[in-house]
Structure 1
Amino acid sequence: MESRITTKRVIIGPDNFKKVVDLSSPSKIGLPKGQIDTDFLSQIKPGNSFEVQGIKYHVLNCDTFDYIMHSLKRQTQIVYPKEGAYIAMRLDIFPGKRVGEAGTGSGAFTVYLSRAVGPYGRVYTYEQREEFYKLAQKNLSEFSEFDNVIMYNKSINYGIKERDLDAFFLDVRKPWEVLEEVRKALKPAGHLGILVPTTNQVSESLAALEKNGFYISEVSEIMLRKYKLIPQRLRPEDLMVGHTGYLIFAKKLEE
């Protein structure tokens, strides 16, 4: 399977300026002072620089982090990178794996999963709300490297088509209501990850996991503190995101 070539680039400049742009869009790109067009930018190789009105800018490739955090259009809360990378490791996701997901939301974690499973893996993602489904489709089309995502505009309350999946990730309001369907979709000892924002949802999920024959391996929360990029006065940033979600990990047990 051939990989797609992304047309996204990142422009960085003084005073922490950063902008993700699309070379396929024939338009002017606004900068703090002046502007350039995409034809000009497409001639500059990543890592090289250009000047506009005496200000120097550099061009970089747009990686998954930049796309999700600075370009992806969202109408929902997303799975942030600090959780996404940890979820992928806890679910043992690597190239060739078959992974299920519900709900898709804006498609941020779906983009990450698509790259993680590679050209010969598959991601099966379910989203019941049509407006989110269409947005996720657009976001995936702009950055997915591989054609390996199968999308459904439906709720998994009505069933999951796939069987013998290696892993499943749930980011839905009431995960305890769909565990029976998820269990059918997972292979024996398959991995399950759940993301919920409140502690009462954690409690409900834990009780349902035990009832539905899952081994609960972990409940956790991930904090991330960033630092100011000033070598002479290195210290944490004044503000930080205190909470994004609770993570629950489990494995399917035999009947």
Structure 2
Amino acid sequence: MLLEPGRQFHTHRGAIPHDDLLGQPEGIVVRSTGGTDYLALRPLLADFVLSMPRGATVVYPKDAAQIVMYADVFPGARVLEAGAGSGALSCALLRAVGDAGRLVSYERRPDFAEVARRNVEAFFGGPHPAHTLRVGDLAESAERGMDRVILDMLAPWEVLAVAAEALIPGGVVCAYVATTTQLSRTVEAMREHGAFAEPAAWESMMRDWHVEGLAVRPGHRMVGHTGFLVTARRLAEGVTAPPRRRRPAKGSYPAAAEDTATDTPTGVGGEGAPAV
């Protein structure tokens, strides 16, 4: 919501004139026409994401924060994103890369792309100078020299070759998937592709706590499973990653593939090659 002179913000406990807020610092208290006091603050990005108009499901703030950190998205980074969805993750990535960076977002559905464009422009107050939004399939991308590739799509394993071509050596690919079957297929595809180091996979859960004097207890609600994250580093061209140190448990792979899956060179104590 943008404040405009002469307008009002209506609540179920009365209206608040925009004029009471315009020109005032954040953190003031205003009173509605119904006599209720409200604390006035600008919305944070997390607030905006949870209330923004949606086409596709948004990436929750807890996951967007981990993507920015664990994919190591830095100011000035060149980032390739697929798909844009409702633009929630795009906002977080643009915040991280800044005006000097570059974010190229692919979205296959034109209606979702339009929602994402509007949400990004609403949050930043207009088009972001670092953002390019393209309607189309990432498989058609010819981007090169990217520092990071972020995949928020149903089948990220289908575009790993494109991600590998786009990334610089040492760059990070990060996939966000919803189900265990997607997680398994993504991780195994990264291992089989050959251009990536051993992937890491995890999920995060967030629980609030009630703190009132000595009454300290976990909240009754929490943001549990929203999605899995997988990250891997791009190897230099022609390099083969050292084998994994740990042997998979029996039954992890089909019998015909077990010999290959557990083929690690013997070293001290039977371990595989040392980690670098």
Q: Could you say which TM-score interval applies, normalised by the shorter chain?
A: 0.7 to 0.9
Q: Post-superposition shift, 1:26?
A: 7.1
Q: SS of the residue aligned with 1:226?
A: strand
Amino acid at match of 1:200: T
- Distance of 1:67 and 1:229 partners within structure 2: 26
- Distance of 1:221 and 1:166 partners within structure 2: 23
Equivalence for 2:10: 30
Q: SS of the residue aligned with 1:93?
A: coil
Equivalence for 2:147: 166
Post-superposition CA distance 1:23-72 (Å, at most 9, x none): 25974311241102334322332122222243222211222112112x31
CA contact (8 A) 1:115 1:144 kept: no
Number of aligned pairs?
Answer: 233
Structure 1's unaligned 5+ residue stretches are 1-20
Q: Post-superposition shift, 1:99?
A: 0.7
Greater length-normalized contact order (CA 8 Å, ≥ 6 residues apart)? 1
Query: Which of 217, 225, 236 is 1:243 aligned to?
Result: 225
CA root-mean-square deviation: 1.9
- Distance of 1:100 and 1:128 partners within structure 2: 14
Q: Post-superposition shift, 1:108?
A: 0.2
Matched, 1:188 2:169: yes
Post-superposition CA distance 1:105-156 (Å, at most 9, x none): 0000000111111110111100000110000000001012642110001111
Q: Which structure would you say has the larger Rg?
A: 2
Alignment of 1:48-87 (within 5 A): 48-52=28-32, 53-69=34-50, 71-87=51-67
CA contact (8 A) 1:160 1:182 kept: no
Q: What TM-score does the superposition give when structure 1 sets the normalisation length?
A: 0.85
CA contact (8 A) 1:30 1:36 kept: yes
- Distance of 2:66 and 2:114 partners within structure 1: 27
- Distance of 2:156 and 2:166 partners within structure 1: 15
Q: SS of the residue aligned with 1:205?
A: helix
Alignment of 1:225-240 (within 5 A): 225-228=207-210, 230-231=212-213, 233-240=215-222
Structure 2's unaligned 5+ residue stretches are 239-276
Amino acid at match of 2:45: T
Q: Summarize the Cα distance change of 1:103–1:84 in structure 2 as closer, same or farther, 3 Å threshold.
A: same
Post-superposition CA distance 1:219-239 (Å, at most 9, x none): 101011112354453322212
Equivalence for 1:221: 203
